Amino acid sequence: MELFSTDYVIYDKINDHVIQWESNGEMVIYGDKEEAIEDCRGNKYVVSCTELPIHQQKKLINQLKKI
């Protein structure tokens, strides 16, 4: 399983947290950077999945393996 640089998440760098769905706690993955930017608020940043810290990338890969 690999992550793609064309998929994005909203990342809170200060708190080391990726935005998650309230319903199931899974990280929200965007295929469209513009859509992610529209949803981005406060001190959060839109980043490519491949630019996340390694430990966050591993969490995301584990999430994707469950699908």
Q: What is the pLDDT of residues 13-49, one digit of tens each?
A: 999 999 999 999 999 999 999 999 999 999 999 999 9
The answer to whether 4 and 50 are in contact (CB under 8 A) is yes
Spatial separation of the C-alpha atoms in residues 20 and 62, rounded to whole Å: 14
Instruction: With a cut of 90, say whether residue 67 has pLDDT above it.
Output: no
Q: Where are the alpha helices (DSSP H) in the chain?
A: 33-39, 54-66
